[in-house]
Structure 1
Amino acid sequence: MTQSNRDLFSRAGERMPGGVNSPVRAFKSVGGDPFFAQRAEGAYLWDVEGKRYIDYIGSWGPMIAGHAHPEVLEAVRAVMGNGLSFGVPNALEVEMAEALCRIVPSCEMVRMVNSGTEATLSAIRLARGATGRPRIVKFEGCYHGHGDSFLVKAGSGALTLGVPDSPGVPKALADLTSTLPYNDFEAATQLFSEVGGEIAALIVEPIVGNANCILPHEGYLQHLRQLCERHGAVLIFDEVMTGFRVALGGAQERYGVRPDLSTFGKIIGGGMPVGAYGGKAELMRQVAPSGPIYQAGTLSGNPVAMAAGLATLKLIQAPGFHQRLEAATHRLCDGLEAAAREAGVTFSTSRSCAMFGMYFRESPATSFAEAVGSDVAAFRRFFHAMLEEGVYVAPSAFEAGFLSSAHGEDEIAATVEAARRAFAKVAAG
């Protein structure tokens, strides 16, 4: 019997908070009910009613080689017959550690975990333990998972203490979190000049992917690097989105800045639940059992996730892989902007290799304040018009989009044609 999206969402609402297991899936910011995926292949998703969508989410980034890539699936089949998890070391996690340290410029040692959130929480604990300092610095619009220290709103200025952004977050933790406006050189300098001796770590998405797609101003990441060095703070790049996507070695390779620690997510598991953090050996050796800073995980480095991740990393190291992705992203974004101009709709895009953002404003945002000032109502109309056309973009005006190597000329042309009709609907109101 064929299931319907609406019936499944109704059933889910009875047993799952909001009917979902992660908030953005509920379509709250765009309205309407979500669809339920049945399967995925290449650049496409199919829902339980059989409708096909060109997918620009890719499980929120990790499907850089496309869904259900045959080489990734074969790698999983080859190991899963031997067991899904052992709770003891296995050879594949050693291979993964060696691969990450070879690919990522700043990583001398790594520790596997089970999600991006776990990676960022662990990196913050390591930074606090290594420096003996309590304060962390984060940025407006950056999302580092749902750890208590990260769910803090910005104050009215660089030194204003944050307030918890969610019930259940102790105010004491909010008091130890400072929030800065992204791309603001002066605000970062001021904060470090006044409380630099308290700062254990500064954590940043080098390209902000959770306020759409905000690129760093020239020299900004280098400025943060210099501030951390001057004041003895640990610089953490959250590369859960940008890692292996905006360049093989991530944003740190693209912009030529080496953080002290980096965090990674599902892309190193081929989309399976996995994460990692890594960096300077002198820091990483302070993690148990080498050092006193405790972190553990029964499923960390499990063989199935490692097999999927190693197969994915092999695929993306093919000559020209990222150059082809970047060219495809430019074709898509240029086509979307042209379609918007034809319809008379104010629209702009940002892009970095296989990551892009869409803004219903004159130019791409360079800060969270600019991002939230875009026309959200126009985005909602555009989102639903594209969904009707069989194109799935993020169900939020404040999330980045992702291309994969499976998005070819046909998929991009179909997307741009769908956008022409969608922008016409936006223009009509």
Structure 2
Amino acid sequence: MSEPAQPSHRRPGPRSAEWFARAAKTIPGGVNSPVRAFNGVGGTPAFIDHARGAYIYDVDGNEYVDYVGSFGPMILGHADPAVVEAVQKQAAKGLSFGAPTGLETELAELVCSMVDSIESVRMVNSGTEAAMTALRLARGHTGRNKVIKFAGNYHGHVDALLVNAGSGALTLGIPGSPGVPEAVVADTLVATYNDLDSVAEAFKAHGDDIACIMVEPVAGNMNCVPPVPGFLEGLRDLCDQYGALLVFDEVMTGFRVHPGCAQAHFGVRPDVTALGKIVGGGMPVGAVGGPRDVMETLAPTGPVYQAGTLSGHPLGMAAGIATLSQLRDGSVHKAIAPQLDKLLAGLNERAQKHGIGFLTQRVGAMFGMFFTDAEQVSRFDDVAACDTEAFGRFFHTMLDNGVYLAPSAFEAAFISHAHDDTAIERTLDAADIAFATLAHP
């Protein structure tokens, strides 16, 4: 048997290393979000200069097929012409006013027209803000204190929800966080994702004081873990039984797995939805939406206070409108589906060829890769049992051969409308080398 081709180990290059060293002097860990630091895979992060379509380019001039997509929002591809034009036109009019604009209403109307459960929407500045606002809204609307979340689900760095979180918290091995007082999380109940019995037990013990269940309808921060049949429906039933609100954190899944979000894909209607990423077209935008009677609990119509100087930022609103306008008819999602089919089939075929235990899972235009012999990954414990060391080696060989994946075994991957056959074939060629390298270390 011939020896597998060896990666060049040319990426990232010296300019990225220089920027990282410089950044470490003024930025904690050299990065502004922990997962970017490559702590989960080792090595020095690539510093990105620009991006277009399915590709990103680092400061050393290396080109990568990108499956991070800014962790989800770039469903149209990087630097989509319509989105860029909308932002440029608005920037020429002014960046921020601290006063209402028509763009806020236009984006709100667009969101309400696409998501059946949303009649009213409040714009915020990030997914974390959206989750924080949704939690406060649920507590204020119900007059209850406790909230159920799931191990491995990540809802931003909200104090009360940073318990058994996914994403960077898993990569870094942090179950919660110093700086979060015990009293803040005393009303947070942690259940097992895809295990209705654990949720039912929490309701039996605390049903009269549970304000809401907050859940990622597709877990994307412990890699891509879809709900098992009946799980989301069961959560809906339990909330109805006990008078709690069902909150879907669709910061990641919103408009990515379906034009009407994951709730439309699975046919389960939440009471409150947290949005981010795609809703702002890649700009720092989040949103909270739901029925009018629930949303009007927020100030100024109701007693639950929430505010933000830059909420409804004109550039973010313009980018969001330009993005959602292209997604609403479903044609983008229909075009992406066969490309993702090709990618996952090719990855599985090459892993099998080299005898590597490997599993892919997908919902809509997001997917996950797991180094495991299991036939399904459905809970946090399943994810934790996967071979993260193998993923790290795979990651670096893919990077060396021009494919950019999230630098953590606990992050979902994302494909865009710009990933054409050339991008898919380049990815599969790199994967063939990566799997061969794992088989013949």
Q: Which residue of 1 aligns with 2:223?
A: 212
8 A contact 2:152–2:164 mirrored in 1: no
SS at match of 1:46: strand
Q: Which residue of 1 aligns with 2:355?
A: 344
Number of aligned residues: 420
Q: Which residue of 2 aligns with 1:159?
A: none
Distance 1:304 1:13 in 2: 30
8 A contact 1:330–1:351 mirrored in 2: no
Deviation at 1:319, TM superposition (A): 4.9
Q: Residue 292 of structure 1 aligns to which amino acid in structure 2? A: P
Mapping 1:87-126, distance limit 5 Å? 87-126=98-137
SS at match of 2:70: coil
SS at match of 2:73: coil
Q: Which residue of 1 aligns with 2:393?
A: 381
Distance 2:331 2:139 in 1: 40
Q: Residue 197 of structure 1 aligns to which amino acid in structure 2? A: D
SS at match of 1:15: coil
Among candidates 132, 136, 155, match of residue 147 of structure 2: 136
Distance 2:125 2:349 in 1: 41
8 A contact 2:259–2:329 mirrored in 1: no
Mapping 1:165-244, distance limit 5 Å? 165-244=176-255
Distance 2:398 2:422 in 1: 16
Among candidates 403, 406, 412, match of residue 400 of structure 1: 412
CA deviations over 1:243-288 (Å, ceiling 9, x no partner) = 0000001110000000000001021111000000000111101100
Distance 2:105 2:438 in 1: 51
Report runs of 4+ in structure 1 exceeding 2 Å deviation. Answer: 317-320
Among candidates 316, 334, 347, match of residue 327 of structure 2: 316
SS at match of 2:69: coil
Distance 1:320 1:270 in 2: 17
Q: Which residue of 1 aligns with 2:91?
A: 80
8 A contact 1:57–1:393 mirrored in 2: yes
Q: Residue 336 of structure 1 aligns to which amino acid in structure 2? A: L
8 A contact 1:208–1:215 mirrored in 2: yes
Deviation at 1:164, TM superposition (A): 7.0
Mind listing any 5+ residue stretches in structure 1 that lack a counterpart?
Answer: 155-162
8 A contact 2:254–2:279 mirrored in 1: no
SS at match of 2:17: helix
Distance 1:153 1:256 in 2: 27
Q: Residue 393 of structure 1 aligns to which amino acid in structure 2? A: L
Deviation at 1:364, TM superposition (A): 3.4
Among candidates 271, 274, 278, match of residue 263 of structure 1: 274
Identity of aligned residues (%): 52
Among candidates 402, 407, 426, match of residue 390 of structure 1: 402
Deviation at 1:321, TM superposition (A): 1.7
Distance 1:140 1:325 in 2: 30
Q: Which residue of 2 aligns with 1:424?
A: 436
8 A contact 1:164–1:170 mirrored in 2: no
SS at match of 2:393: helix
Mind listing any 5+ residue stretches in structure 2 that lack a counterpart?
Answer: 1-12, 166-173
Greater mean alpha carbon deviation, residues 403-412 or residues 190-199: 190-199
Among candidates 279, 290, 295, match of residue 301 of structure 2: 290
8 A contact 1:3–1:48 mirrored in 2: no
8 A contact 1:6–1:33 mirrored in 2: yes
Distance 1:123 1:329 in 2: 32
Distance 1:314 1:281 in 2: 23
When residues 151 and 319 of structure 1 are mapped into structure 2, their CA distance, relative to the original with a 3 A threshold, is: closer
Q: Which residue of 2 aligns with 1:300?
A: 311
Deviation at 1:331, TM superposition (A): 1.2
8 A contact 1:228–1:234 mirrored in 2: yes
Distance 1:105 1:222 in 2: 17
CA deviations over 1:302-326 (Å, ceiling 9, x no partner) = 1111111100011122452212212
SS at match of 1:40: strand
Among candidates 21, 24, 28, match of residue 39 of structure 2: 28
Question: Does structure 1 residue 335 correspond to structure 2 residue 346?
Answer: yes
